[in-house]
Amino acid sequence: MKKLLLSSLLSLTIAAAFSQQGYNIGLTLKPYKNEKVYLGYYYGKLKALADSAVLDGNSQGSFKGTTALPGGIYFIVSPSRQILFELLLDKEQQFTIEADTTQLPSGVVFKGSKDNALFQQYTRFANQTGTAIHKANGEMATATNKKAVEDKVKKLNETMQHYRDSLIDKHPESLLAALLQAMKEPVIPPASKHPGGKYDSNFAYRYFKDNFWDGVEFNDDRLVRTPFFESKLDKYYDRLVSPDPDSIKPEVDYMLLYARSGKEMYKFLMVKFVQQYINPKYMGQDAVFVHLFEKFINTGEADFFSKEYKEYMTKRAYSLMANQLGLPAANMKMVDTSGRPANLYDVKGEMIVLCFWDPTCSHCKEVVPKVDSIFQAKWKAQGIKVYGVMVDGGKDLWTKYIRDNNLKDWIHVYQLPAQQEAEQSAGQPSYRQLYDVFQTPMLYLLDKDKRIVAKKLDYLQLNEIIDLKLKKSNTN
């Protein structure tokens, strides 16, 4: 009997431990009956579904799983795929929710979850204060005493921040505290506290940037599943980090190295940075992707990428390595329209514009004549050469387009099929790979020593850079 009792207790203990590893969220969601509802979560700026449950005739159901869900902000989704309300998931994953969706947000009751009771308390206060702030701002346009309204808004904001700070102080280990810390932004000291006692914009910028991530742990995977963390990340890189690659690289390195002790955050940051810089918004930032590839991806520290995407990144990285700003451009062994050698490194000019184009490409037909117009009107007199490379379209169509559009004084070239075959047989990279030419038209600017000054810009942007470079060389 004693052995049987011990065995039963052991079984119950194991079962309890196993159940605690998973999740069981009981749900009463009126007035829905015999319908499917969903448990969703944030992943950066995206939303996804984690589970579903079918409510019975009493509006009851449950979300269950044997593996605990990652911590973060989740939400309940109606049968019509409308988000009804949010909840927190962290260590507590065995609780119940009773809600009347006709009386949201007040008609929600959490049982067995201190995290969500605290979250609900905060949400109610935040909604009340936010409504008061919105109402006060609406009074601003017609107010006779605008200063009084401004003071009222300021006081409400201070009250909100004081409430958040008090929650962090009272519940420092809670998920809500981590979320509030991550949402918080630094308050720049008053001018009297700046160097010399006067407002200093550089000091203000440095203070804001240096304290922007105070209280944020980059190995806290829970922050990935919030609707605000990615926006905060974007704000930091868009507004506070200089856009040049040498400034960005140490920033991404710091975050990734810090996040490595986590799992989801490291993966989230790596994917975000790769997607942001593999085809960047600003010229030259692809150097950040090359850096990520060499330091993390190609060293086996990002094995979560699919085989197909890893192959794509590898091809992109090796294409981009050869055409980084400031590097010598790869020589192109080409022939002109008459079949005579016209290699890139034989061209002499103050600067060289490379124009990769295709006579059958509709966009090329728009851009190439405009490049020629500015070349004839301005660049030619400045000692600039245009080296036009036919990428596709065939020789006959290419030469016809040149004649029909009177593209004179260009150095028109293409690669002989025999040369392409020789490169492939020798395992050498093609000019397309070396210049990352997978769409047309594409423009590059080289200096007189054939170093890459600019790439993948339109002809007007290229013209601005040419003017700046010539002006600088004339003043030296």
Residue 59 to residue 98: CA distance in whole angstroms: 10
Q: What is the pLDDT of residue 472?
A: 83
Residue 131 to residue 129: CA distance in whole angstroms: 5
Q: Please give the structure tokens belonging to residue 123.
A: 């949400």
- DSSP 8-state class, residue 234: H
Q: What tens digit of pLDDT does each residue of 113-140 get?
A: 999 999 999 998 998 998 998 888 888 7
Residue 336 to residue 388: CA distance in whole angstroms: 10
Q: Please give the structure tokens belonging to residue 113.
A: 């979850």
Q: What is the three-class DSSP state of 132?
A: helix
Give the residue from 190, 236, 233 showing the smallest Cα distance to 209: 236
Q: What is the pLDDT of residue 142?
A: 80
Residue 97 to residue 281: CA distance in whole angstroms: 45
Q: What is the pLDDT of residue 427?
A: 87
Q: Is residue 8 within 8 Å of residue 56, measured between CB atoms?
A: no
In sequence order, the 6+-apart residues with CB closer than 8 A to the CB of 134 are none
Residue 399 to residue 316: CA distance in whole angstroms: 31
What average pLDDT values come out for the chain (476 residues) when binned by 10 residues? 40 43 94 97 97 97 96 96 96 95 87 94 90 86 82 90 93 94 92 93 96 94 96 97 97 96 94 96 95 96 94 94 95 94 95 96 95 96 96 92 95 93 90 93 96 95 93 77
In sequence order, the 6+-apart residues with CB closer than 8 A to the CB of 382 are 350, 351, 466, 470
In sequence order, the 6+-apart residues with CB closer than 8 A to the CB of 258 are 218, 219
pTM of the model: 0.86
Residue 439 to residue 60: CA distance in whole angstroms: 56
Q: What is the pLDDT of residue 476?
A: 65
β-strand partners of 26: 62, 96
Q: Which residue has the tokens 């700070």?
A: 165
- DSSP 8-state class, residue 339: S
Q: What is the pLDDT of residue 33?
A: 96
Q: Is residue 27 within 8 Å of residue 37, measured between CB atoms?
A: yes
Q: Is residue 146 within 8 Å of residue 85, measured between CB atoms?
A: no
60: phi then psi, degrees, rounded to nearest 5? -110, 150
